[in-house]
């Protein structure tokens, strides 16, 4: 019988029996962490966008004692929504400390995937599905990347863009990794990554925190993937970037790079 004369295949029955359990994906239990400090205008916007894009995810707002009332607004939003949670911190100790406290909370409450997201709208919630799909497909850490094919940056001044690209090139060179956007703050972790890393020894505060955890993840054998995102400059509020963040990242990245090279030399001699 020729290929042209073959009878059509019967369509597969894709329905499930009532008693058959649908496999659970890691992303079915996702927590989005949003640190805040003086984000009163942005907070309701970002929360609304997250739940419009992915209605089933939970959100944890980590407020570092914002004097503008951000924490109080977060409580109001959470009062009528079981998907919303709020953590109040009385001391502003930096982005890294806020995320570490939130990671511990997320692990304690049984979430399978934990996401980092900025409050200012620069990380589009509408693209979160890309990170979660990569997690469901087997990646351990997924970075929403501005610099892989398909990724873009909108409305940044050229100096800021040059600084970001230089920082990523610096880290890639010193650490010997093939990650295009290691400083990115839009990312998703499987819980096993955060359980494995020695988070109690992490003391990085600014965007160096992202380099730190990526480096630890790689050294622990976890799979790191990048997916393209569109990064947009904030429209409301003030950027928290500072010179101390840049200095911290330069010094620590250089140290990690040297330590990594020394470790590889010792392993070759052993």
Q: How many domains does the structure of the chain reveal?
A: 1
The residues with which 120 forms a beta bridge, in sequence order, are none
- List per-residue pLDDT tens for the chain, 270 residues long: 334 334 334 334 444 454 555 568 999 999 999 999 999 999 999 999 999 999 999 999 999 999 999 999 999 999 999 999 999 998 888 899 999 999 999 999 999 999 999 999 999 999 999 999 999 999 999 999 999 999 999 988 999 899 999 999 999 999 999 999 999 999 999 999 999 999 999 988 777 999 999 999 999 999 999 999 999 986 655 555 556 777 777 777 877 777 766 666 666 666
In a domain, 5, yes or no: no
Full 3-state SS string of the chain: CCHHHCCCCCCCCCCCCCCCCCCCCHHHHEEEEEEECCCCCCHHHHHHHHHHHCCCCEEEEEECCCCCCHHHHHHHHHHCCCCEEEEECCCCCCHHHHHHHHHHHHHHCCCCEEEECCCCCCECHHHHHHHHHHHHCCCCEEEEECCCCCCEEECCCHHHHHHHHHHHHHHHHHHCCCCCCCCCCCEEEEHHHHHHCCHHHCCCCCCHHHHHHHHHHHHCCCCEEEEECEEECCCCCCCCCCHHHHHHHHHHHHHHHHHHHHHHHHHHHC
Whole-model pTM over 0.75: yes
Query: Residue 210: which domain range?
Result: 24-234+246-269
In a domain, 136, yes or no: yes
In a domain, 78, yes or no: yes
- Measured distance CA(264)–CA(270) in Å, rounded: 10
Predicted pLDDT of residue 107: 98
In a domain, 4, yes or no: no
- The CATH number linked to 88 is 3.90.550.10
In a domain, 15, yes or no: no
Please answer whether residues 228 and 129 qualify as being in contact, where contact means their C-beta atoms are separated by less than 8 angstroms.
no
In a domain, 108, yes or no: yes
């Amino acid at each position: 019988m020729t290929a042209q004369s073959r009878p059509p295949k019967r369509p597969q029955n894709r329905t499930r029996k009532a008693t058959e359990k649908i496999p659970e994906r890691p992303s079915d239990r996702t927590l989005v962490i949003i640190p805040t400090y003086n984000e009163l205008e942005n907070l309701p916007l970002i929360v609304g966008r997250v739940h419009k894009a992915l209605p089933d995810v939970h959100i944890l707002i980590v407020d570092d004692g914002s004097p503008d009332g951000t924490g109080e607004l977060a409580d109001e939003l959470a009062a009528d929504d079981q998907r919303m949670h709020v953590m109040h911190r009385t001391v502003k100790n930096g982005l890294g400390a806020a995320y570490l406290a939130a990671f511990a909370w997320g692990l304690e409450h049984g979430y399978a995937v934990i996401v980092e997201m900025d409050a200012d709208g620069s990380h589009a919630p509408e693209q979160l599905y890309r990170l979660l799909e990569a997690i469901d497909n087997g990646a351990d850490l997924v970075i929403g990347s501005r610099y892989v094919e398909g990724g873009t940056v909108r409305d940044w001044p050229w100096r800021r863009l040059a600084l970001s690209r230089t920082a990523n090139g610096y880290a890639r060179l010193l650490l010997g990794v093939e990650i295009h956007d290691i400083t990115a703050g839009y990312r998703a972790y499987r819980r096993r990554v955060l359980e494995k890393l020695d988070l109690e020894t992490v003391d990085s505060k600014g965007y160096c925190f992202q380099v730190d955890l990526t480096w630890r993840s790689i050294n622990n054998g976890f799979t790191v993937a990048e997916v393209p995102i569109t990064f947009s400059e904030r429209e409301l509020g003030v950027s928290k970037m500072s010179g101390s963040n840049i200095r911290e990242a330069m010094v620590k990245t250089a140290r990690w790079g040297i330590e990594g090279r020394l470790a590889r030399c010792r392993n070759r001699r052993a």
